[in-house]
Each structure stands twice: as structure tokens, then as C-alpha cells.
Amino acid sequence: MTALTLTNVNKSFGEVHVLKDISLEVEEGEFVVFVGPSGCGKSTLLRVIAGLEDASSGEINIDGQTVNLVPPSKRGIAMVFQSYALYPHLNVRGNMTLALKQEKQSKAVIEERVATASRMLNLEDYLDRYPSELSGGQRQRVAIGRAIVREPKLFLFDEPLSNLDAALRMNTRIEIANLHRALDASMIYVTHDQTEAMTLADKIVVLRDGRVEQIGTPMELYNNPANQFVAGFLGSPSMNFLPEGLLGEGQNTIGIRPEDLFLADDGPLTARVSHVEKLGGDTNVIAKVNDHSVTARLFGQHAISEGEELRFAYTADKAYRFDTNGQRLR
């Protein structure tokens, strides 16, 4: 059974065509991450799925039912917003129970679901507080709690962690992963943080300019990108792109991941070091080959200084080739 099926979904705001012919499937229990650069239409796609915006054309199917004409509250979804969007006039308990009261659930059911959710999210001590009396991380947990109590078929997260600091972000990321395991629910998660994408996803959907560029598991996308955009988007530091002419003949582009470059006295790439980042475990060397910037990620610690000349090599089977349109050549 698929939790969500989109078939040729388009969305325009007047003249602006934001979503272009999007088709994808989310299996039951799957964790799907939408990634893409800012403005590519991730939030719009999520809002279309939620029913907050109407699709201009195409079909949206949730849990076997076509929902194009179903209002958001009846679609069996719950959404967590980037800005938390908690109700300021209600305390934490009120925020979590509003939707259930709206559905006319019995007192016992409401009580029990709030208890379960607040135990999961460690919110038991805060149930009587108002949103303004909570820290950012706590607010985010309340927002997640508000989604959990509804027991939706599909969770929608729109960049839920982008307002949190780095440490909290990592904790909450792990919490969300645990939550996914515990609830066994289907989730769609929007982010432009690729660590979040790689670590959380069963399946990643890469979007660009309102179009799906590629869909696959994180490792599929990493090892087997369909085009130059996907190759450059996933991985940090991102893939090096060099014109083929630099290494021999041809018009195509060669892509090499930073970790696939290694130091070799007879390597084909002669580069002048412009910057070194020593991270302890790794050393990132940013160097110039002619006018092209190249990043190499060397394992361990290296005594390399700026201005030095180095030679890099790579194994041929780790190099990707892209044609002038950015399509992968195999």
C-alpha cells in the first residue's frame, strides 16, 4: 500500500509555474526527504500535499483515496512548520488537544494520546505552560507533539530544525529518527541540510526549479547521481567538477568527490594549495588547478601549508562524466 501518490502535479501562482509535473510515491512507513535549493518549491509541494494550496492539475492520492477536493483536516495528515506556529493563547496541553477536540474525540482518548505524546517528547512537565514560556527546542517538540496526537497516516515536516542551534538540531534529529521507528508512520521531511537528508531518509527526492531531478535511497543518489546537479548537491564538501580538457581531450565535465582524490607524486592534477582546513580527523585541502578550484578531503592530519604545490590522483572508476547539459554519461 502506498501512503502517498502524486501523479503529474502542477502548481502555478498566476504566471509563475512553481511545480512542474511532479510524480512520486511514498510507501507506507517510509521516511522521504525532499531536498533542493531555496525557492525550488519544496514548501509549496508540501502545502499542496497538505491541501493548503490547490494543485493546478494532477492527482494527489493519500492512502488509496484521491484527496484533491478533501480539506486539510480530513486528509489524515499532520504538519510541523518551520516557525512552530503554536497557538499563542493556548497552553501546551491546549495546543496538543485542539485538533482532537475539533474531531470530537472522547475525553479518555484525548487524555491518553496527550499522555503518550508528552512522554515520548519529554513534555510532561510543560503541559500547563504557554508557548511564550518555552525555549525554542521545547516549542519545536510541542509542535511535533501536536502532530503526533492526531495519529495521522502521513507526517509532513517543513524544515522543522532550521531554527535550532547545532547541538539541539542533532539531538532533535535523532529524536525524529526514533520517533519514526516508534510510530512506524510515513513521513515527508523538507530540508536543505544534506546531513539531515542523508541520515534520516529512506528515500530522497531531489528537486530543482519545481522539477524532480532524481529519486532514490541516499546511497543510490550519492553513488549513482543521474546528473551534475544531484552530484553537486549531495555530499559535503561537494563534488569537484573539472573540464575534461584539463585532463586530456573532450568537452565533457569530470566529477570527482573530494574523498576520492589522493596525494600521488605522479598524479595527473597539479594544484596550488589556496586554503587548508584542519579538522583533526580529516584535512580539507582547497587548491587551484589552473583556474579551477578543487577540494580534496584527506584522511588524517597532514602538514600542508598554503601556496604549496601538490599532485593529486584519482581512480578512474570513481570519476563521473557529465555531458555539456549536465546529464550523466556512463
Partner 1 sequence: MNKARHNPINTAAMHGALILYTLIALFPVFVILINSFKSRRAIFREPLALPNADSFSMIGYETVMKQGDFFLYFQNSMIVTVASLFFILLFGAMAAYALSEYQFKGNLVMGLYLALGIMIPIRIGTVAILEMMVATGLVNTLWALILVYTAQGLPLAVFILSEFMRQVSDDLKNAGRIDGLSEYTIFFRLVLPLVRPAMATVAVFNMIPIWNDLWFPLILAPAEETKTLTLGSQVFIGQFVTDWNAVLSALSMAILPVLILYVIFSRQLIRGITSGAVK
Ligand X SMILES: Nc1ncnc2c1ncn2[C@@H]1O[C@H](COP(=O)(O)OP(=O)(O)OP(=O)(O)O)[C@@H](O)[C@H]1O
Give the interface with ligand X as residue ranges (CB under 6 A).
Answer: 13, 16, 18, 36, 38-44, 192
User: Residue 14 Cβ, how far from partner 1 at the closest point, in Å?
Assistant: 9
Q: Quick check: 191 binds Mg ion (CB under 5 A)?
A: no
The verdict on 43 binding Mg ion (CB under 5 A) reads: yes
CB of residue 194 vs partner 1: minimum separation in angstroms?
23
- Smallest separation (angstroms) from ligand X to the CB of 235: 19
Of 114, 116, 43, 117, the closest CA to residue 81 belongs to 43
Which span sits near partner 1 by CB under 8 A: 67-75, 185-193, 268-276, 306-314? 67-75
Closest distance of CB 119 from ligand X, Å: 32
Q: How many residues bind partner 1 (CB under 8 A)?
A: 33
Distance CA 145, CA 96 (A): 6
Task: Name which of 54 and 306 has its Cβ closer to partner 1.
Answer: 54
Nearer Cβ to Mg ion (207/310): 207
Given candidates 38, 106, 132, 324, which one binds partner 1 under the rule CB under 8 A?
132
Give me the least distance between CB of 158 and Mg ion, in Å please.
Answer: 6
Q: Per residue, what are the HEC states of the chain?
A: CEEEEEEEEEEEECCEEEEEEEEEEEECCCEEEEECCCCCCHHHHHHHHHCCCCCCEEEEEECCEECCCCCHHHCCEEEECCCCCCCCCCCHHHHHHHHHHHCCCCHHHHHHHHHHHHHHCCCHHHCCCCHHHCCHHHHHHHHHHHHHCCCCCEEEEECCCCCCCHHHHHHHHHHHHHHHHHHCCEEEEECCCHHHHHHHCCEEEEEECCEEEEEECHHHHHHCCCEHHHHHHCCCCCCEEEEHHHCCCCCCEEEECHHHCEECCCCCEEEEEEEEEECCCEEEEEEEECCEEEEEEEECCCCCCCCCEEEEECCHHHEEEECCCCEEEC
Terminal-to-terminal C-alpha distance of the chain: 34
- For position 89 contacting partner 1 by CB under 8 A, the verdict is yes
Partner in contact with 96, chosen from ligand X, partner 1, Mg ion, none, beta carbon below 5 to 8 Å by kind = none
Q: In whole angstroms, give the CA distance from residue 228 to residue 101.
A: 49
CB of 207 to ligand X, least distance (A): 7
For the record, the C-alpha cell of 313 comes out as: 590522483
Q: Which is nearer to partner 1, 155 or 229 (by Cβ)? A: 155
- The partner in contact with residue 130, picked from partner 1, Mg ion, ligand X, none with C-beta cut-offs of 5 to 8 angstroms by kind, is partner 1
**Considering the complex, what minimum distance in angstroms separates the CB of residue 67 from partner 1?**
13
Peptide bond into 268 cis (omega under 30): no
Rounded distance, CA 186 to CA 189, Å?
10
Instruction: Give the one entry of ligand X, Mg ion, partner 1, none that residue 251 binds, where binding means its C-beta sits below a cut-off of 5 to 8 angstroms depending on kind.
Output: none
Using rule CB under 8 A, residue 72 touches partner 1: yes
Q: Which does 272 bind (CB under 5 to 8 A by kind): partner 1, ligand X, Mg ion, none?
A: none
CB of 84 to Mg ion, least distance (A): 14
- Which of partner 1, Mg ion, ligand X, none interacts with 16 (beta carbon under 5 to 8 A by kind)? ligand X
38's contact among Mg ion, ligand X, partner 1, none, with CB below 5 to 8 A by partner kind, is: ligand X
Question: Which parts of this chain interact with partner 1 (CB under 8 A)?
Answer: 47, 50, 52, 71-74, 77-79, 81-89, 98-99, 102-103, 130-134, 136, 139, 146, 150, 163
Question: Which parts of this chain interact with Mg ion (CB under 5 A)?
Answer: 43
